[in-house]
Amino acid sequence: MKIRFLATAAPDLLWFKTYYMRRFPEGRRNADTQFLKVKALLVANPFLGHPVENVDGARAYPVSRTPFSFIYRVKGDTIEVLRVLDGRSADSSEYT
């Protein structure tokens, strides 16, 4: 199983980086660690996240100790990350 971040996740990844570098630098190390843990967990257990309503095949899994969640789908041997949403401003229409 491999993880592929789709283009739709690019602005989210930029926000994740910006948030922890500029707005909350003291949380950066923990956030990076938790982000990597989620990637490893999903590779080992791709259906770990809960289904997302109204988005066919999509699942959500939170990045522990952060406001972010991976929104992804499993396609064959690939986990496609659609979004890495900041839960403080996310609404379900933004999942795809």
Evaluate if residue 96 carries a pLDDT over 80: no
Angstrom CA distances, 70 to 31, 67, stand at 13, 11
| Average of per-residue pLDDT across 33-45 | 95
Give the pLDDT confidence score for residue 83 in this predicted structure: 96
| Average of per-residue pLDDT across 2-25 | 93
What's the length of the chain? 96
Angstrom CA distances, 35 to 18, 78, 87, stand at 14, 18, 15
| Average of per-residue pLDDT across 51-67 | 93
- Which percentage of the chain shows pLDDT scores above 90? 70
| Average of per-residue pLDDT across 10-31 | 90
Give the pLDDT confidence score for residue 91 in this predicted structure: 55
Give the pLDDT confidence score for residue 21 in this predicted structure: 87
Give the pLDDT confidence score for residue 94 in this predicted structure: 52
Given a contact cutoff of 8 angstroms between Cβ atoms, the answer to whether 71 and 13 are in contact is: no
Q: What confidence tier does 93 reach under pLDDT thresholds 50, 70, 90?
A: very low
